[in-house]
Amino acid sequence: MIDCDIHPQIGDPEELISYIDPAQREWFRAQGASLGLPGYSWVHPSSWFRQDIDQNGHPPAADVDTVRRELLDPSGTDAGVLNGDDAVLVSLMPSPYRAAQLARAHNEWLRERWLDAEPRLRASILCPAQDPQAAAAEIRRVAEDERFVQVLLCGGADRPYGEPRYLPIFEAAVECGLPVAIHSGGEGMGIAAPPGGAGPVTFYIEWHTLGSACSTMSHLVSLLCHGTFERLPALKVLLIEGGIAWLPGMLWRLDTNWRALRSEVPWLDRKPSEVARDHVRFSTQPLEHTDGHDETLFEMLEAAGAPDNLCFASDYPHWDFDDPDFMLDRLPDAWRAKVLHENAAELYGARLALPADA
Amino acid sequence: MPEWVDVGSVEDVQREGRLVARVNGREVGVVSDGNGTLRGIRNRCPHHGGPLCLGRVGERVEGEPGVYALTGRQTLRCPWHGWEFDLQTGLCVDEPSLRTAVYQVRVEGDRVLIQA
């Protein structure tokens, strides 16, 4: 089983600050526990995290032992990908220079504190998306370590990722043979656009329903309309935690519009849904509850390319975590191997097999 | 055996850019393809049934990402939803499962004839 979304927590900020360039440590220290990352305006009313994980006052999943004990061992995880948690918001910091420094420090922290300690773990490369040239340089630097299996971008953004300004990020990923993951989060924070598309929302429940789904839709439609996959035929994108039940409707809508409005994006010489099937994968978590209509959900998802485009993700240790056994029970029999293992194995390729199988 | 049917004058097509006539119970249009050649096509879009021949003939644009390039290929764009049709084959360019009928056109003197 391959888990595409595990969130390591920064327990002690000083631990991460030790990876910051000495000339910038005072600034990061002065930001307190946030490390200068934009704070969330919409906060979970009780906790972001599962409440059953006791870690002596630290956030859960702040060390490898806990992740091993709570997730990897009991779930039978063969490989798990670490995605920076709040740290993914580096791309929403007002200063691209601080963002680049924090991304670099986080990548080094992942390498030494996590990847060196547990062979089942892989990691995503953090990069400062607000400065695409700097982001591309960081991707190329970190990708030399083959335990980093993808580039990680944040759902929150000031413009959708199909904008040509972001091309250096995608070019660097392709050059290094890495997929680009876009993980929901950060919508409306820092320099990001408001969540939902109709101005700032009121409640966390609105933010969690709309923010992540709408940003994911926006990036998907933007990448397709700008012809990013035509520019970079080897590019693969994994959309994490933005929901999937909306996918068939969104692709049908886009295809319908494309037939009429193709002249605006004339480089799209086939249906956008076909391009999405070839290039875009989705994490399953949080798989929408359907009140007894799972068969309808799966039938619609099949029309949008499932199960070939779905990869399992737990989102450990967050409150809306999907337990692997629970997912096994819900998925159609014929989907299980693809969703739990095969699709992610294909997406990440040889980097997933290293070094345990080397 | 299809027969040649007089559907109007060249002047009609030139004035309006098209003419529409009823032939054997069906509405058939004759449009100029932009290069002066007259094309016959059924006046019904296979998508939603719109009056296809009332749409605009224009040169199709294609290109690499970020680049808009004229192709020299003229298409008829349905006035309802904008779907584009090839005037020679009747195929919906971006949805080849859809096709509308096309007809041979002949000009004799000032008269336009279509084979239907």
Angle, helices A96-109 vs A132-142, to 10°: value is 10
Contact with chain B for residue A229, Cβ under 8 A:
no
Closest chain B residue to A163, measured at CA:
B66
- The mean predicted confidence, pLDDT, of chain B is 93
Residue A132: count of CB within 10 angstroms of its CB: 21
Q: Which residues of B touch A269 (CB under 8 A)?
A: 62
ipTM: 0.82
User: What's residue A357's pLDDT?
Assistant: 45
CATH 1.10.10.10 fits A2-353, yes or no: no
| DSSP-derived 3-state class of residue A116 | coil
What is the 3-state secondary structure of B34-81? CCCCEEEEECCCCCCCCCHHHCEEEEEEECCCCCCEEEEEEEEECCCC
Cα-based distances in Å from B35 to A348, B38, B103:
52, 9, 18
B81 to A260: CB separation less than 8 angstroms, yes or no: yes
Chain A: closest CA distance from residue B19 (Å): 24
CB-defined contacts A:B, below 8 A: 40
> What does the block give as tokens for A309?
């485009």
**Edge-to-edge, what's the strand order for the sheet holding B102-103?**
B18-23, B26-32, B38-42, B102-103
Instruction: Give B109's contacts (C-beta < 8 A, 6+ positions apart).
Output: none
Is residue B37 over pLDDT 60? yes
Best residue of A171, A229, A262, A274 to probe chain B, by most B CBs closer than 10 Å: A262
User: What's residue A317's pLDDT?
Assistant: 86
User: What's residue A354's pLDDT?
Assistant: 52
Chain A: closest CA distance from residue B41 (Å): 20
Chain B: closest CA distance from residue A259 (Å): 6
Chain B: closest CA distance from residue A134 (Å): 23
A266 to B68: CB separation less than 8 angstroms, yes or no: yes
**Cα three-residue angle B94-B100-B104, rounded to 5 degrees:** 120
B69 to A266: CB separation less than 8 angstroms, yes or no: yes
Contact with chain A for residue B83, Cβ under 8 A:
yes
pLDDT tens digits, one per residue of A167-211: 999 999 999 999 999 999 999 999 999 988 888 999 999 999 998
| CA A207/CA A130 separation, integer angstroms | 22
Closest chain B residue to A225, measured at CA:
B65
Contact with chain B for residue A279, Cβ under 8 A:
no
Mean pLDDT, residues B73-98 taken together: 94
pLDDT tens digits, one per residue of A278-337: 999 999 988 999 999 999 999 999 999 999 999 999 999 887 788 888 888 899 999 999
User: What's residue A358's pLDDT?
Assistant: 40
Closest chain A residue to B67, measured at CA:
A267
Chain A: closest CA distance from residue B2 (Å): 33
Contact with chain A for residue B82, Cβ under 8 A:
yes
Contact with chain A for residue B67, Cβ under 8 A:
yes
Element (H, E) at B6: strand B4-9
Domain architecture of chain B: domains with CATH: 4-115 (2.102.10.10)
Query: Measuring CA to CA, which residue among B17, B11, B31, B15 is closest to residue B114?
Result: B31
Select the residue of A164, A226, A260 nearest B82 (Cβ to Cβ).
Answer: A260
Q: With a cut of 70, list the residues of chain A below it in pLDDT.
A: 51, 53-58, 354-358
